[in-house]
Structure 1
Amino acid sequence: MDTQYAVEVDGLTKRYGPLTALDRVSFGVGRGELFGLIGPDGAGKTTLFRLLTTLLDPDEGRAAVDGFDIRTDYRKIRERVGYMPGRFSLYPDLSVGENLSFFAALFGVSTGDHYDLIAPIYRQIEPFRTRRAGKLSGGMKQKLALCCALIHRPSVLFLDEPTTGVDAVSRSEFWDMLARLKERGISMLVSTPYMDEATRCDRVALCNEGKLLGIDTPQGIVARFDEPLYALSGENMYGLLLEARRAEGVRECYPFGEAHHLVTAPGFDPQRFADALVRKGFRGVTVRTAEPGIEDVFIKLMRHE
């Protein structure tokens, strides 16, 4: 397979009995690229990561990581990748420093061999180096897990929903850390259910039910949305949602932040729609033009799948 790619996937398929968890997936990740896999739980993101890190064998297709085949070169791949699973997987009874030393020993390195790579992250948790990992906050656990995944200076880093359950500030800090790692030339695959995080990636793949719905830059993904879109808000948001889904000219209505997004047919009159809702007793109704985001494109692709 082509060595210009950090990761190359061709027709990769994985089944669990009657369930097809991954269905003929194909894509490539360039060297030094920050590539995002965006999709809900059950989309196949974790299965894909387990295949690429050689923890599972595929039923069909092939893939290469750093130029090595996942079926035949698994030992070489394991030496070259870092993997941060979705759940905190370090040893809760070991201290911060002990966890780091343990993972360094697994790869035959010392904690000082590649300290320059982890230093910007480790300095934030170093004051707690004697604290047991199980007693750390969610954000601190996340930083420790990233340090352990980087301790051997991997060429490709896999991060499976690393910010799930972490507060907004820690989420932002984590993506800042990934941006700095990208500057060091590390290729990264990051999965997330958060659509807003997709904008921090070079390219993203939208995933659902084991399939890829589209791959592009975040801007290219958003550019695919070509339908009239409005934001609906007011009192009794649940009632507004039900009314909008029954309204003529509304193709789709779904919660979006503090409003509902309306995908409408050509000729839809937002003022007439708002007036009709007011006549039905709804108060504070506003219907305004909305800018589409990646989540809107994702919903559109699912609707047309």
Structure 2
Amino acid sequence: MSIIVQNISKSYNKAKAVEAITFEVKEGELFGLIGPDGAGKTTIFRILTTLLLANEGSAIVAGFDVIKDYKAIRDSVGYMPGKFSLYQDLSVEENLTFFATIFGTTIEENYDLIKDIYIQIEPFKTRRAGVLSGGMKQKLALCCALIHKPKVLFLDEPTTGVDPVSRKEFWEMLKRLQQKGITILVSTPYMDEAALCDRIALLQKGSILKIDSPENIIKNYDKVIYDVRTQNMHQLILDLKNYPSQYSVYAFGEYIHYIDKSAGFNPKDLAAYLEKNKHSEIEINISRPTIEDVFMDL
């Protein structure tokens, strides 16, 4: 195993950030921590990259203990925090050279690892990092995290605030890095990115709700979800929440996702109820569940 986490807990004063977290990441795996802001993702990352001490529990990263062998871990991992943390006044090339020097290497020595990413920002190598676009900053930060050829790569919400095209490109880069044998632990609040991981841990309020592959999580979901839409979406949510057998109601894109707790549920009965409440243009169709649906239910 590349990462082994056993019963990690961390509190800030009396507030629990993470509680009894346990999971393992295999070598060469792309593993995702999925959850909203405040779920505990960044705290876990800081503990595993030796920037923070846990109150309880233990963790092994790349074969090293996070407390006893913290210096060895810092040499063996790459870390890209959620906030852009490179030197804004240095150029692209100066930032990369600086980080290579810190780790006792050179850009040339590990250029094969960063080549696919670096060629996209090389035309701007003399430009100061602080004036780069969000997508370019992201690529530069990834290059700096990879320049010493780490065994494990930690990426804390790397695509937050980045445009959809850059997000897609970034995940394609991660897949290529994974093929080179690097273990990747990535966190994201975007549920659609969960499907791009080999396995995921769904996090909420410092606890793990479920760990499995995205495919298995969806396959084992046992509830029927309906896409519901009418001409008055705001009123629709209120009326669906008042339906006697409703189990769950929440907005999902252009539809409302509705789940009924009755085994004998008939969509025609729901349509009749909505007509009675003066809805028109009623659509009720079975929907395919997603990671977000499972997360909302959990």
Q: Same fold (TM over 0.5)?
A: yes
The aligned residue for residue 293 of structure 2 is: 296
Alignment equivalent of 2:229, drawn from 221, 230, 233: 233
**Equivalent of 1:160 in 156, 161, 173:** 156
Distance in 2 (alpha carbons) for counterparts of 1:133 and 1:236 = 47
Which deviates further from its counterpart, 90-99 or 34-43?
90-99
- Identify the match of residue 58 of structure 2 among 53, 59, 62: 62
Shift of 1:111: 1.0
Q: Bigger CA drift: 36-45 or 259-268?
A: 259-268
Residue 142 of structure 1: how far off its partner (Å): 0.6
Letter in 2 for 1:52: L
Aligned length: 297
**In the TM superposition, what whole-angstrom CA distance separates every residue of 1:191-216 from its partner, at most 9, and x where no partner exists?**
00011101110000000111101100
Name the TM-score, length of structure 1 as normaliser: 0.95
Alignment of 1:88-127 (within 5 A): 88-127=84-123
Return the match for 1:197 from 193, 202, 209.
Answer: 193
Q: What's the offset of the Cα at 1:167?
A: 1.0
Give the letter aligned to residue 72 of structure 1.
Answer: K
- Alignment of structure 1 residues 22-171 onto 2, 5 Å: 22-171=18-167
* Equivalence for 1:13: 9
Q: Aligned-pair distance for 1:242?
A: 1.0
What's the CA shift string for 1:119-152, capped at 9, x where partnerless? 0000011111111111111111111110010010
Distance in 2, matches of 1:21 and 1:209, equals 7
Letter in 1 for 2:29: E
Quote the Cα distance in structure 1 between the aligned partners of 2:208 and 2:269. Answer: 38
Match of 1:280 among 261, 265, 277: 277
Give the aligned partner of residue 222 of structure 1.
218
> Among residues 170, 188, 192, which one is paired with 1:174 in the alignment?
170
Per-residue deviation, 1:256: 1.2
The separation in 2 between residues aligned to 1:16 and 1:280, in whole angstroms, is: 49
Q: What is the one-letter code of the residue matched to 2:9?
A: T
The 8 Å contact of residues 225 and 296 in structure 1, kept in 2 or not, is answered as: no
On the 8 A contact 1:43/1:209 being kept in 2, the answer is: yes
Matches within 5 A, 1:236-251: 236-251=232-247
Q: Is the 8 A contact 1:224 1:297 kept in 2?
A: no
